[in-house]
Structure 1
Amino acid sequence: MHTTDQAMKPILVILAAGMASRYGSAKQVDGFGPNNETIIDYSIYDAIKAGFGKVVFVIREEFLTTMQANFDAKLRGKIEVAYAFQDFNLKKFGVDTVVEREKPWGTAHAVMSAEQAIDRPFCVINADDFYGFDAFQKMHDFLVNEAHDEEMAMVGFEIGNTLSDHGYVSRGVCAIDDKGYMQSVTERTNIYRGADACADSIVYKEGEQEHPLSAETLVSMNFWGFTPKIIDVARSLFPDFVQKNKSNPKAEFFIPSIPDYMAKMGLARFKVIPTSSPWFGVTYKEDKEQVRDSIRQLVALQTYPHTLYAADKRVDAALYLEQ
């Protein structure tokens, strides 16, 4: 793959269709930087710098005007932009069952919803997680140099660095072999600090039972590197998932279930890429000030410019085309 060819550069897919029920507002466009930059702004800035050539926003259709107003002008000339809609039309995924739901079908369904905009290796991230440049650079390099239909990847973060002080979180807990490949990944939707609230006391709750987790356990923060093959596999599994969960309004078709299935079936290997990047994110409204402080510190250290897309400090697409 020649990264000087814009049409061949990896794609960044940003999952921004969530309803943010615990946050209480549209955190996709909430401001955190010194000039009201969103977390998405920082992710795209890092992705352009790393060499990505296209960004696809997966959103709810009614959010399109807001997203375009926030991102189209500032990204024009820097990176190709596309939008995909996550909705409740299941027929386009081979499901004839009519299911009444208030929330989308989850992150794997969101990736499926972007299939028309994906024609090459791509990275998937959450809109509300700050991952840092190192993670984007390592994933870009993997997608360019190593990715194929039987070799994909995820960036792994230590779970002790990914919790909120204000409530439970969901994480894909990984089992990894001695060669650095994922053996399995299990989505745990209720992870929090244990009763003594120390850094090493972390548990996930299943039913009414608490299970301990080491702070060094590597987890998926939905920072995945795929080829379009992943969408074909997701499509094959989705109808059965809907059939089994049509009466459960909280059931979600999570991304980790697809790599987990593929790894166990021998369809592909998933390299776990460690990162030195600082992670932080917003699950709860109370997380906002901490994220603002973290970004403020990175700006003070000149890791990021004070204004991401100011005319004198803009990300120069031509510069990165030459790299």
Structure 2
Amino acid sequence: MLNKKPILVILAAGMASRYGSAKQVDGFGPNNEKIIDYSIYDAIRAGFGKVVFVIREEFLGIMKETFDEKLRGKIEVAYAFQDFNLRKFGIDLEIERQKPWGTAHAVMSAEPEIDGPFCVINADDFYGFDAFNKMAKFLTSEVHDGKMALVGFEIGNTLSDFGFVSRGVCHVDDAGYMQGVTERTNIYRRKADDQDDIVYKEGDEEVILHPQTRVSMNFWGFTPKVLAVAKELFPAFVDKNKDNPKAEFFIPDIPDYMVKNNIASFAVLPTSAKWFGVTYKEDKEAVQQSISTLVALGEYPAALWGYVKEVDPSLYLDR
């Protein structure tokens, strides 16, 4: 039985190119709370003991100013930098790129701050307490190098009204384990001929997805074993894509490889919660309204960091 408090790794190094500003530190709550604030608040309630922000080094000042004081005494805080230095991963190359190498590369960058089971999330996604509670329970009682997990959201609960999204589409067996995951980078709701289909583009073809298809929102539960596998795969990925400045080493590629090579299994922890986030600038108002509704229902205090409210986790397990 594990008892070490799990670590929360937050991926916050993105340039926010589609959103148009540093959405990681934009305000959405009634007292200017950030989406990250709600994730950390839920993680503390669920039992996480440390948060690691993976950022660009130039963001360090504003991140420390934003988070250090209000999190002092509530959860341990650390920072890791995602950059263009390939030598720290044993790759003796200098490759010109405008963006780093993707989400799996970001997780690898956090390795110095990881010494046990950990969860990875995006900075700009609102997941809800149920996801953190289920993952914390898994990481403190079930996880081992041969068994890891992800929270599987229903694709119909994860779309933006303002454009396409990227999702890791999961292939789940009858026992609730992932058999594979494929990153789809162009998913959207298609409205035509009285139909309201969810589709992704593959070449010129539109492929329909069932609304309850489980997808990864980059809410993964790992042991450090995943870092070792990622570091084994990364040099070949870089070599293959050294002339492709847009190539990205995605997190789902690692679990997919581990499952298909019998290195580890991945339990899909289901949630029916509605995800929301700010992929596009136009999403902001809807996110603010959603958070206001949750505050009005009493799920979060209006002044989020006035206190950390203890909750009965059993109230959320079957939501």
* Identical counterparts, % of pairs: 73
Q: Residue 58 in 1 paired to residue 51 in 2?
A: no
Q: How far does residue 2 in structure 1 lie from its aligned partner after superposition?
A: 6.1
Q: How far does residue 276 in structure 1 lie from its aligned partner after superposition?
A: 3.5
Which of 202, 206, 213 is 1:206 aligned to? 202
Alignment of 1:40-189 (within 5 A): 40-189=36-185
Alignment of 1:215-294 (within 5 A): 215-294=211-290
Q: Residue 23 in 1 paired to residue 16 in 2?
A: no
Rounded to whole Å, the distance in 1 between the matches of 2:216 and 2:195 is: 19
Given that 1:200 and 1:214 are in contact with CA atoms closer than 8 Å, whether structure 2 keeps it comes out as: no
Given that 1:122 and 1:227 are in contact with CA atoms closer than 8 Å, whether structure 2 keeps it comes out as: yes
Q: Residue 34 in 1 paired to residue 30 in 2?
A: yes
Given that 1:193 and 1:199 are in contact with CA atoms closer than 8 Å, whether structure 2 keeps it comes out as: no
**Count of aligned residue pairs for this structure pair:** 311
Rounded to whole Å, the distance in 1 between the matches of 2:275 and 2:38 is: 12
Q: Residue 309 in 1 paired to residue 309 in 2?
A: no
Deviations along 1:9-66, one digit per CA (max 9) or x if unpaired, are 1000000001110000000000000000000000000000000000000000000000
Rounded to whole Å, the distance in 2 between the matches of 1:164 and 1:60 is: 26
Give the SS at the match of 1:236. helix
Q: How far does residue 316 in structure 1 lie from its aligned partner after superposition?
A: 7.0
What one-letter code is carried by the residue in structure 1 that aligns with 2:283?
D
Rounded to whole Å, the distance in 2 between the matches of 1:190 and 1:301 is: 34
Given that 1:200 and 1:215 are in contact with CA atoms closer than 8 Å, whether structure 2 keeps it comes out as: no
Rounded to whole Å, the distance in 2 between the matches of 1:247 and 1:236 is: 20
What one-letter code is carried by the residue in structure 2 that aligns with 1:151?
K
Given that 1:199 and 1:215 are in contact with CA atoms closer than 8 Å, whether structure 2 keeps it comes out as: no
Q: How far does residue 196 in structure 1 lie from its aligned partner after superposition?
A: 2.2
Given that 1:151 and 1:269 are in contact with CA atoms closer than 8 Å, whether structure 2 keeps it comes out as: yes
* TM-score (ref. length: structure 2): 0.95
Rounded to whole Å, the distance in 2 between the matches of 1:21 and 1:155 is: 26
Deviations along 1:264-290, one digit per CA (max 9) or x if unpaired, are 000000000001333111100000000
Rounded to whole Å, the distance in 1 between the matches of 2:131 and 2:62 is: 28
Q: How far does residue 231 in structure 1 lie from its aligned partner after superposition?
A: 0.3
Q: How far does residue 199 in structure 1 lie from its aligned partner after superposition?
A: 7.9
Rounded to whole Å, the distance in 2 between the matches of 1:247 and 1:269 is: 33
Deviations along 1:110-161, one digit per CA (max 9) or x if unpaired, are 0000000000000000000000001000000000010000000000000011
Q: How far does residue 302 in structure 1 lie from its aligned partner after superposition?
A: 0.6
Q: Residue 12 in 1 paired to residue 5 in 2?
A: no
Structure 1 stretches of 4+ moved >2 Å:
195-200
Give the SS at the match of 1:166. coil
What one-letter code is carried by the residue in structure 1 that aligns with 2:199?
V
Rounded to whole Å, the distance in 2 between the matches of 1:248 and 1:187 is: 18
Unaligned runs of 5+ in 1: none
Q: 1:198 to 1:229 in 2, by over 3 A?
A: farther
Given that 2:158 and 2:274 are in contact with CA atoms closer than 8 Å, whether structure 1 keeps it comes out as: no
Rounded to whole Å, the distance in 1 between the matches of 2:209 and 2:194 is: 13
Give the SS at the match of 1:309. helix
What one-letter code is carried by the residue in structure 2 that aligns with 1:88?
F
Given that 2:157 and 2:273 are in contact with CA atoms closer than 8 Å, whether structure 1 keeps it comes out as: no
Unaligned runs of 5+ in 2: 314-319
Given that 2:168 and 2:182 are in contact with CA atoms closer than 8 Å, whether structure 1 keeps it comes out as: yes
Rounded to whole Å, the distance in 2 between the matches of 1:197 and 1:80 is: 53
Given that 2:168 and 2:215 are in contact with CA atoms closer than 8 Å, whether structure 1 keeps it comes out as: yes
Rounded to whole Å, the distance in 1 between the matches of 2:279 and 2:155 is: 15
Give the SS at the match of 2:267. strand
